[in-house]
Amino acid sequence: MALTSLLKTLFRRRKKKKSTEFVSNSAVFEFDFDTVKAATNEFSELVGHGGFGSVYKGRLQNGQEIAVKILSKSSIRTETQFHNELNILSKLKHKNLINLLGFCTKRDQHCLVYEFMPNSSLDCFLLDPHRASQLSWEMCRNIVDGIARGLRYLHEESGLCLVHRDIKPRNILLDSDLKPKIMGFELARMMQQCENEAESTVIVGTIGYIDPEYLRSGRVSVKSDVYAFGVTILTIITRRKAWSVDGDSLIEYVMRCWNRGEAIDVIHEVMREEEREDSISEILRYIHIALLCIDENAETRPSIDRVLHWFSCISTPLPEPTSGNRFLGKEETNWPWSLSLSPGHSSVTSPISSR
């Protein structure tokens, strides 16, 4: 199918379930490459870089600021990622999802044009001690709640039953009011008729955020996103990385403190020292919910809708988290592939045995 015909097919509007959180649907625009090049001053201001390409800041002639992602040099993989993200984001509109404005292609270059997020990614806040100290619990709670609402839209309200497969702080952008928007849909997968799970022969995602079931068997479901969301909550509260090559994982650390009755110790010192007693109680409840999200058994993890209910109804009792997450212990070695990490590379794409 010719590229033009394919893109027209991708942009056909799709009826969506009504929600007060939807934003108005706008057409995805095909930009001229020279227009994008001029808007970014020939791609001079780099604002982000990852495994899928580089992101540059720009400004259109009407004054609107944009972020332009140039995917890595054209290959079958790049083409697949480009069309996957274009296909998905052209059908999604929600206040907690990044807004795709358009695209452009030229020879072996593929560009996606997004709204610009002035506060960059949540990851930038958490890894910068000065910026992290500016995040109060109220700000963090609003960020966590916004991520959850975006996930509920993907899983239950969009009509696509979509699994993101790479939820993490780096894929959460913050606008001028620190409202979160989920990005990074290169790995996203639509589930056929909202099936409970699907199988994959390739593991993709980011170490520390991939759920045990997906790692072991290749079975992916919306509960995979729930797991990654639980880890993300813990990274926000603790300001620790999800995975440490030399030490314990974040989950091991939090579970150990939880089992000792010392959960308050995992709260970042800024929040622990500045927040009121009722806020500390709420933070501990969010830690509790996060531990339920990272249950080793996908079937007993809550849905995102259930999580949002727990967030809003503080009087609702919570089940006890499972004691420890055996999968993450150092004694666990029966993975279907060997795990290796190098500095600066946290994503993994590893084959597993096809059943």
Question: What is the pLDDT, as a whole number, of residue 76?
Answer: 62
Residues 195 and 47 placed together within one structural domain of the fold: no
* 9 within some domain: no
Predicted confidence (pLDDT) per residue in 112-131, tens digit = 999 999 999 999 989 888 88
127: domain CATH number is: 1.10.510.10
Residues 145 and 269 placed together within one structural domain of the fold: yes
Residues 87 and 229 placed together within one structural domain of the fold: no
How far is CA 320 from each of CA 233, 287, 290, 337, rounded to the nearest angstrom? 17, 12, 11, 32
Residues 137 and 50 placed together within one structural domain of the fold: no
* 138 within some domain: yes
* 26 within some domain: no
Q: Is 175 a catalytic residue?
A: no
85: domain CATH number is: 3.30.200.20
* 12 within some domain: no
Determine the residue type at 310: W
Question: Does 69 appear as a known binding residue?
Answer: yes
Residues 175 and 263 placed together within one structural domain of the fold: yes
Does 174 have pLDDT greater than 70?
A: yes
- Give the number of domains in the chain: 2
Predicted confidence (pLDDT) per residue in 140-169, tens digit = 999 999 999 999 999 999 988 899 999 999
Last residue of a domain, one of 69, 100, 115: 115
Mean pLDDT of 9-32: 54
Active-site residue identified among 32, 34, 108, 166: 166
Residues 127 and 106 placed together within one structural domain of the fold: no
Question: What is the pLDDT, as a whole number, of residue 75?
Answer: 59
Q: How many residues does the structure list for the chain?
A: 355
* 22 within some domain: no
Last residue of a domain, one of 115, 147, 180: 115
Residues 140 and 108 placed together within one structural domain of the fold: no
* 16 within some domain: no
Provide the token pair at 124: 């930038």
Residues 179 and 259 placed together within one structural domain of the fold: yes
Give me the residue label for tokens 């993975």: 335
Residues 129 and 97 placed together within one structural domain of the fold: no
Residues 39 and 131 placed together within one structural domain of the fold: no
How far is CA 355 from each of CA 148, 159, 200, rounded to the nearest angstrom? 33, 29, 10
Predicted confidence (pLDDT) per residue in 318-349, tens digit = 999 975 444 444 434 343 433 333 333 345 55
How far is CA 89 from each of CA 29, 254, 299, 325, rounded to the nearest angstrom? 12, 35, 28, 34
Q: Which residue has the higher pLDDT, 235 or 328?
A: 235
- Average pLDDT value over all residues in the chain: 82
Question: pTM for the whole thing?
Answer: 0.84
Last residue of a domain, one of 115, 131, 149: 115
The answer for residues whose C-beta is within 8 angstroms of residue 334's C-beta and 6 or more apart is: none
Q: Are 238 and 266 within 8 A, CB to CB? A: yes
Q: Which domain holds residue 105?
A: 31-115
Q: What share of the chain in percent tops pLDDT 70?
A: 77
Question: What is the pLDDT, as a whole number, of residue 198?
Answer: 59
Residues 138 and 64 placed together within one structural domain of the fold: no
Residues 128 and 66 placed together within one structural domain of the fold: no
Provide the token pair at 84: 């996957």
* 97 within some domain: yes
Q: Are 17 and 159 within 8 A, CB to CB? A: yes
Question: What is the pLDDT, as a whole number, of residue 130?
Answer: 86
* 20 within some domain: no
Question: What is the pLDDT, as a whole number, of residue 217?
Answer: 85
Question: What is the pLDDT, as a whole number, of residue 309?
Answer: 97
Ranges 40-44, 70-74, 102-106: which has the least confidence: 70-74
